[in-house]
């Protein structure tokens, strides 16, 4: 019993030291955070963007909620240009938006992709994107359950959509209980500075959608992405209702 307690104390101290070390690194090199973000998830999210952009109609205006560094979007430049899709990307992380601006400009997409460092909950957005400025689609690429209130985020996005507008969500969902992942995700945030959120089970997202007053019209695995007995990257297409747009 004493050995177990001692081992736990050592492990706890090790975690604290690592947390302090990495916090110092992110403070000294703030721009490194965006690079780590890309290194960790870009291969996966590039496939997610490809799947969503393939479904979005040509000439559509898309609100990208939590665009991050924009790298995954830009890697699908051919599809963007071919379908003449215009994207307004928002993210509350200044480091991500700063890098996204450079990436979008270097790709020659500055006229097609606009960026704002803001939150989906900002009421000014709904005042800005109204009438003819409304969007044909909103997209949450792994960002929905990072929100303090996911259902409210869906409602905010829906209030900026046209009457026929749809919401697209891509995210990895657990298919069965995973105590290891529930412990690992918070640790990854401590050490990498990237917010992976909490473990979310497939049934939980259905509750979020229902709370937002939306209907799921498509729910399928993302082609070429993770799909195992334990977890699956899924693409959901949501249809707002009159209840969704009611404050």
> End-to-end distance of the chain based on CA atoms, in angstroms?
55
Query: Do the domain assignments include residue 146?
Result: yes
Which of 21-30, 49-58, 130-139, 226-235 is predicted with the least confidence, judged by mean pLDDT? Answer: 21-30
37 and 58 housed in the same domain:
yes
Q: Report yes or no on 245 lying in a domain.
A: no
Contact 117, 87 (CB under 8 A): no
Q: Are residue 14 and residue 127 in the same domain, yes or no?
A: no
Q: Looking at residue 115, what is its pLDDT?
A: 98
Per-residue pLDDT of 25-42, as tens digits, reads 555 555 555 666 565 678
* 62: exposed, middle or buried (Cβ count in 10 Å: 0-12, 13-18, 19+): buried
Q: What is the dihedral of CA 214, 217, 220, 222, to 10 degrees?
A: -80
What's the confidence (pLDDT) of residue 9?
53
Q: What is the pLDDT of residue 14?
A: 47
| One domain for residues 109 and 230 | yes
Mean pLDDT, the chain, whole residue set = 84
Residue 244 maps to a domain: no
Least confident span in 58-72, 86-100, 187-201, 211-225: 187-201
| Residue 247, in any domain of the structure | no
What token pair was written down for 178? Answer: 């995973």
**For residue 9, what are the domain limits?**
1-29
111 vs 189, residue with greater confidence: 111
In 85-230, beta strands by DSSP E: 86-91, 113-117, 135-141, 161-174, 215-221
What pLDDT shows up at residue 11? Answer: 43
The number of distinct structural domains making up the chain is 2
83, 75, 69, 64: which is closest to 141 by C-alpha?
Answer: 64
133 and 21 both lie in a single domain: no
Same domain, 89 and 168: yes
Asked if residues 237 and 217 have their Cβ atoms less than 8 Å apart, the reply is: yes
Looking at the fold, whether 1 and 60 belong to one and the same domain comes out as: no
- Higher-confidence residue of 114 and 2: namely 114
Q: What tens digit of pLDDT does each residue of 152-172 get?
A: 999 999 999 999 999 999 999
Evaluate if residue 4 carries a pLDDT over 50.
no
Higher pLDDT, 108 or 244: 108
Q: Going edge to edge, which strands form the sheet with 61-65?
A: 113-117, 86-91, 61-65, 135-141, 161-174, 231-239, 215-221
Weakest mean pLDDT among 19-23, 72-76, 133-137, 221-225: 19-23
pLDDT-derived band of residue 200, with 50, 70 and 90 as boundaries? confident
Q: What is the pLDDT of residue 110?
A: 96
Read off the pLDDT of each residue in 205-215 and give the average, rounded to a whole number.
94
The whole-number pLDDT of residue 74 equals 97
> Which span out of 75-79, 124-128, 141-145, 242-246 was modeled with the highest average pLDDT?
75-79
Q: What CATH code is carried by the domain that includes residue 50?
A: 3.40.50.150
| pTM of structure | 0.81
């Amino acid at each position: 019993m004493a050995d177990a307690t001692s081992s736990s104390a050592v492990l706890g101290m090790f975690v604290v030291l690592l947390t302090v070390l990495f916090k110092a690194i992110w403070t000294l090199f703030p721009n490194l955070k965006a690079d780590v973000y890309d290194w960790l998830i870009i291969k996966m999210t590039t496939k997610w963007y490809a799947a969503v952009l393939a479904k979005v109609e040509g000439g559509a205006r898309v609100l990208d909620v939590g665009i991050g560094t924009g790298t995954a979007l830009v890697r699908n430049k051919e599809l963007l240009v071919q379908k003449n899709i215009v994207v307004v990307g928002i993210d509350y992380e200044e480091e991500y938006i700063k890098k996204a601006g450079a990436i979008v400009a270097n790709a020659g997409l500055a006229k097609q992709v606009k960026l704002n460092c803001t939150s989906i909950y900002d009421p000014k957005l709904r005042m800005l994107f109204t009438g003819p400025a409304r969007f044909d689609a909103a997209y949450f690429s792994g960002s929905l359950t990072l929100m303090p209130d996911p259902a409210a985020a869906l409602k905010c996005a829906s209030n900026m959509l046209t009457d026929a507008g749809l919401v697209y969500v891509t995210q990895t969902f657990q298919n069965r209980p995973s105590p290891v992942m529930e412990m690992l995700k918070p640790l990854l945030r401590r050490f990498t500075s990237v917010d992976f959120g909490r473990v979310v089970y497939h049934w939980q997202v259905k509750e979020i959608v229902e709370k937002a007053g939306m209907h799921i019209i498509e729910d399928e695995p993302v082609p070429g992405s993770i799909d195992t007995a334990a977890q699956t990257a899924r693409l959901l297409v949501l249809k707002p209702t009159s209840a969704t747009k009611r404050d």
